[in-house]
């Protein structure tokens, strides 16, 4: 993952190679790295593909240093990723295996995580090679996978990192803390919002009766868009879902929030293949008025994150302009949807 948010100079290639080798030795004993490749495509943590002489392929992820600019919820993200992968694997989902997690501390300026590598290509990279039949089958399988992940029940609602303080004994209190945190980030980073902040801050109270409909803190990946879904195939055979990666944004809450993370730009609940896969495990899932209210609230939350993170990520040019225009339109549309649903 690209760590554009880190203000200090990164280590040189030789230093990074030696650091990766030292970390491998600590976890695996004497091993030989025959190829070390920087992985691109992410937006926060850095990642390296390490290919060993014995044929194993591993991913070493490293967080930005503590001095890096970040949103409030972006604390100990690799700890969250390790937790997500372990819990999701126990539920039967296909995810990388966690080999080691090291928190930041004396001698370790940034936390790091060692994982197995999922062979294949991300969905967005393979998109042009998928037929309509491939896509339908894969979306069905994806629906099954996220439904299986949602069977995991957490100990608390919200983010599983005590440092951020974004959790609570129930979903309304946790979601309120999460939403208010990103609004505070907007003030901290001087990001103009396309709606009055007080109106946005009041949404959890205004629709609290809908948030209380969530009675179990389900595990939610919340970032399972096509760039974090790995597909694979044997030769010219059918594509299959190799697994989900990058579970660093996970939290415990409403399982419906997963539908927002799956399709940040659209509405996954309107995808018949995905929902058929989900309902194959959860046949009683209903997208009623309460569900649509909550989906709109989670879209407001994710849109705010995507708008505010432009500053700490130092995006500029076309990407920053697109984020600004898209997030303004998306937020306005979700607020209008909430007004209509309330009426």
Greater model confidence, 48 or 334 = 334
pLDDT at 20: 73
Domain spans of the chain, in order of start: 13-116, 121-342
Confidence of residue 309 (pLDDT cuts 50, 70, 90): very high
Lowest mean pLDDT among 59-68, 71-80, 286-295, 333-342: 59-68
pLDDT at 4: 32
Eight-state DSSP code of residue 313: T
Q: pLDDT above 90 covers what percent of the chain?
A: 76
Q: How far apart, in whole angstroms, are the C-alpha atoms of residue 267 and residue 291?
A: 13
Backbone dihedral angles phi then psi of residue 36, each to the nearest 5 degrees = -130, 115
Q: Who's near 63: CB < 8 A, 6+ residues apart?
A: 3, 44, 45, 77, 78, 104, 110, 111, 112
Greater model confidence, 163 or 17 = 17
Tokens coding 241: 């879902």
pLDDT at 157: 97
pLDDT at 6: 31
Q: Using alpha carbons, select from 318, 324, 294, 321 the residue that is nearest to residue 306.
A: 324
Confidence of residue 1 (pLDDT cuts 50, 70, 90): very low
Q: Which CATH architecture has domain 13-116?
A: 2-Layer Sandwich (3.30)
- At 101-152, the pLDDT tens digits run 998 878 777 889 999 999 999 999 999 999 999 999 999 999 999 999 999 9
- Whether 247 has a pLDDT exceeding 80, the answer reads yes
- Whether 69 has a pLDDT exceeding 60, the answer reads yes
Output the average pLDDT for the chain.
91
pLDDT at 110: 82
pLDDT at 23: 79
Q: How far apart, in whole angstroms, are the C-alpha atoms of residue 244 and residue 277?
A: 16
- At 195-210, the pLDDT tens digits run 999 999 999 999 999 9
pLDDT at 3: 33
- Whether 5 has a pLDDT exceeding 80, the answer reads no
- At 40-58, the pLDDT tens digits run 766 678 899 999 999 999 9
CATH, domain range 121-342: 3.90.1200.10
Q: Using alpha carbons, select from 305, 226, 257 the residue that is nearest to residue 149.
A: 257
Tokens coding 223: 């970032």
Q: Taking residues 11-28, what's their average pLDDT? A: 69
């Amino acid at each position: 993952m690209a760590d554009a948010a880190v203000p200090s100079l990164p280590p040189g290639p030789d230093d990074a190679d030696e650091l990766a080798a030292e970390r491998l030795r600590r976890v695996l004993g004497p091993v030989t790295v025959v190829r070390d490749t920087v992985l691109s495509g992410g937006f926060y943590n850095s990642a390296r593909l390490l290919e060993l002489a014995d044929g194993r392929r591993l991913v070493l992820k490293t967080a930005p240093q503590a001095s890096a600019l970040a949103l409030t919820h972006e604390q100990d993200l690799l700890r969250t990723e390790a937790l997500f992968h372990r819990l999701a694997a126990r539920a039967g989902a296909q995810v990388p295996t966690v080999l080691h997690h090291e928190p930041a501390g004396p001698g370790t300026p940034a936390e790091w995580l060692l994982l197995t590598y999922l062979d294949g290509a991300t969905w967005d990279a393979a998109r042009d090679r998928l037929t309509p039949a491939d896509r339908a089958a894969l979306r069905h399988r994806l629906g099954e996978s996220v439904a299986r992940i949602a069977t995991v029940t957490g100990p608390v609602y919200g983010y599983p990192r005590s440092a951020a303080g974004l959790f609570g004994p129930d979903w309304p209190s946790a979601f309120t803390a999460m939403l208010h945190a990103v609004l505070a980030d907007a003030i901290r980073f001087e990001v103009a919002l396309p709606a009055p902040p007080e109106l946005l801050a009041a949404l959890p109270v205004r629709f609290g009766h809908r948030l209380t409909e969530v009675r179990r803190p389900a595990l939610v990946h919340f970032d399972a868009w096509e760039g974090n879904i790995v597909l694979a195939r044997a030769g010219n055979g059918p594509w299959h879902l190799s697994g989900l990666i990058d579970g660093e944004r996970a939290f415990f809450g409403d399982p419906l929030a997963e539908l927002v993370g799956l399709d940040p730009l659209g509405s996954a609940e309107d995808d018949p293949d995905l929902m058929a896969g989900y309902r194959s495990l959860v046949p009683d899932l209903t997208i009623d008025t309460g569900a649509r209210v909550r989906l709109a609230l989670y879209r407001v939350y994710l849109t705010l994150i995507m708008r505010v993170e432009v500053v700490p990520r130092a995006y500029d040019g076309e990407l920053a302009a697109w984020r600004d225009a898209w997030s303004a339109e998306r937020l306005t549309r979700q607020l209008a949807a909430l007004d209509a649903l309330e009426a």
